[in-house]
Chains A and B, each alone.
Chain A
Amino acid sequence: MKTLHVATAAVAATMWAGAAIAGNAPGVTSTEIKIGNTNPYSGPASSYGTIGKSIGACWNWVNDTGGINGRKIKWISLDDGYSPPKTKEQIRKLVEREKVAFTFQTLGTPTNSAVHRYMNKKQVPHLFVATGATKWGQPKKFPWTMGWQPNYQTVGAIFGNYILQNYPQGKVAVMYQNDDYGKDYVIGMKRAMGDKYAKQVVKQETYEVTDPTIDSQIIALAGSGADVFVNISIPKFAAQAIKKMHAIGWKPAHILNDVAASIASTYKPAGLEKAKGIISVDFYKDPNDPEWKDDPETNAWRAWMDKYYPGGDKSNKMNAYGYAVCHTMIEVLKKAGNDLSRENIMKQASSLKEVHLPMLLPGMYADTSPTDFYPLEQMQMTRFDGTRSVRFGPLISAETE
Chain B
Amino acid sequence: MDQFLQQTLSGLANGAIYASLALAVVMIYQAIDHFNFAQGEMAMFSTFIAWQLIAWGAPYWVAFVVCLAISFIGGMAIERIIFAPIHDAPALSHVVVFIALTLIFNAMAGFIWEFTIKEFPSPFPAELPFETKLIGPHEVGIVGITLIMLGMIYVFFRFTPIGLAMRAAAASPESARLVGISVKKMLGLGWGLAAAVGAVAGMMIAPVVFLEPNMMLGILLYGFAGAVVGGLTSPGGAVVGGFLMGVLEALAGTYVIGSELKLTFALVVIVAVLLFRPAGLFGRVVVQRV
Residues of B within 8 A of A351 (CB): none
**Complex contact A223–B212 (CB within 8 A):** no
Residues of A within 8 A of B254 (CB): 216, 219-220
B3 within 8 A of A: yes
Asked if A206 meets B260 with Cβ closer than 8 Å, knowing A216-B254, A236-B212, the reply is yes
Residues of B within 8 A of A265 (CB): 116-117
Q: Mark B108-137, 1 if CB is under 8 A from A, else 0.
A: 001100111111000000000000010010
Chain A positions 238-287 with a Cβ under 8 Å from a chain B Cβ: 239-240, 247-249, 264-266, 268-269
A212 to B249, CA, bound (A): 11
The stretch that binds A, out of B7-15, B75-83, B172-180, B192-200, is: B7-15
A399 within 8 A of B: no
Residues of A within 8 A of B258 (CB): 206
**Complex contact B218–A211 (CB within 8 A):** yes
A266 to B116, CA, bound (A): 9
Closest to A46 in B: B110
**Complex contact A312–B114 (CB within 8 A):** yes
Q: Mark A210-231, 1 if CB is under 8 A from B, else 0.
A: 1111011101100100000000
A50 within 8 A of B: yes
Closest to A214 in B: B259
**Complex contact B10–A219 (CB within 8 A):** yes
- Least CB distance, B211 to chain A, in whole angstroms: 9
Residues of B within 8 A of A206 (CB): 258-260
Q: Mark A193-223, 1 if CB is under 8 A from B, else 0.
A: 0000000000001111111110111011001
B219 within 8 A of A: yes
> Size of chain B's interface in residues, with CB distance under 8 A?
44
Chain B positions 202-216 with a Cβ under 8 Å from a chain A Cβ: 205, 208-210, 212-215
- Best-buried of A205, A215, A264 by chain B (most CB within 10 Å): A215
- Least CB distance, B10 to chain A, in whole angstroms: 4
Closest to B249 in A: A216
Chain B positions 1-58 with a Cβ under 8 Å from a chain A Cβ: 2-3, 6-7, 10-11, 13-14, 17-18
A113 within 8 A of B: no
B253 within 8 A of A: yes
**Complex contact B117–A235 (CB within 8 A):** yes
Closest to B119 in A: A269
**Complex contact A44–B114 (CB within 8 A):** no
**Complex contact B260–A178 (CB within 8 A):** yes
Residues of A within 8 A of B103 (CB): 42
Residues of B within 8 A of A212 (CB): 14, 17-18, 205, 209, 218-219, 222
Of A42, A213, A311, the contact of B209 (CB 8 Å cutoff) = A213
Of B116, B214, B260, the contact of A44 (CB 8 Å cutoff) = B214
Residues of A within 8 A of B222 (CB): 212
Closest to A47 in B: B115
Of B2, B116, B209, the contact of A264 (CB 8 Å cutoff) = B116
A295 within 8 A of B: no
B250 within 8 A of A: yes
Asked if A223 meets B3 with Cβ closer than 8 Å, knowing A178-B260, A210-B217, A269-B117, the reply is yes
Residues of A within 8 A of B208 (CB): 213, 240
Residues of A within 8 A of B205 (CB): 212
Closest to B135 in A: A247
Of A208, A220, A247, A316, the contact of B263 (CB 8 Å cutoff) = A208
Asked if A220 meets B7 with Cβ closer than 8 Å, knowing A47-B214, A178-B260, the reply is yes
- Least CB distance, B44 to chain A, in whole angstroms: 12
A96 within 8 A of B: no
- Least CB distance, B4 to chain A, in whole angstroms: 9
Asked if A210 meets B221 with Cβ closer than 8 Å, knowing A216-B249, A219-B3, the reply is yes
A72 to B10, CA, bound (A): 56
A207 to B14, CA, bound (A): 15
- Least CB distance, A327 to chain B, in whole angstroms: 23
Q: Mark A312-332, 1 if CB is under 8 A from B, else 0.
A: 110110000000000000000
Of A211, A247, A316, the contact of B136 (CB 8 Å cutoff) = A247
**Complex contact B114–A210 (CB within 8 A):** no
Asked if A269 meets B253 with Cβ closer than 8 Å, knowing A178-B260, A212-B17, A216-B7, the reply is no
A211 to B116, CA, bound (A): 18
A374 to B253, CA, bound (A): 38
**Complex contact A269–B210 (CB within 8 A):** yes
Closest to A216 in B: B250
Of B10, B116, B212, B221, the contact of A216 (CB 8 Å cutoff) = B10
Chain B positions 249-269 with a Cβ under 8 Å from a chain A Cβ: 249-250, 253-254, 258-260, 263
**Complex contact A215–B14 (CB within 8 A):** yes
Residues of B within 8 A of A220 (CB): 3, 7, 253-254, 259
- Least CB distance, B39 to chain A, in whole angstroms: 15
Closest to B18 in A: A212
Closest to A271 in B: B119
**Complex contact A247–B133 (CB within 8 A):** yes
A206 to B257, CA, bound (A): 12
- Least CB distance, B244 to chain A, in whole angstroms: 15
**Complex contact A219–B6 (CB within 8 A):** yes
B107 within 8 A of A: yes
Closest to B262 in A: A216
B interface list, Cβ under 8 A from A: 2-3, 6-7, 10-11, 13-14, 17-18, 103, 106-107, 110-111, 114-119, 133, 136, 205, 208-210, 212-215, 217-219, 221-222, 249-250, 253-254, 258-260, 263
**Which 9 A-B pairs give the minimum distances between C-beta atoms?**
A47-B115, A210-B218, A313-B114, A216-B250, A223-B3, A269-B119, A215-B10, A212-B219, A212-B218
10 residue pairs from A and B, CB less than 8 Å apart: A46-B110, A205-B259, A206-B259, A210-B218, A216-B249, A236-B210, A240-B209, A240-B210, A268-B119, A269-B119
A interface list, Cβ under 8 A from B: 42, 44, 46-47, 49-50, 178, 205-213, 215-217, 219-220, 223, 235-236, 239-240, 247-249, 264-266, 268-269, 311-313, 315-316
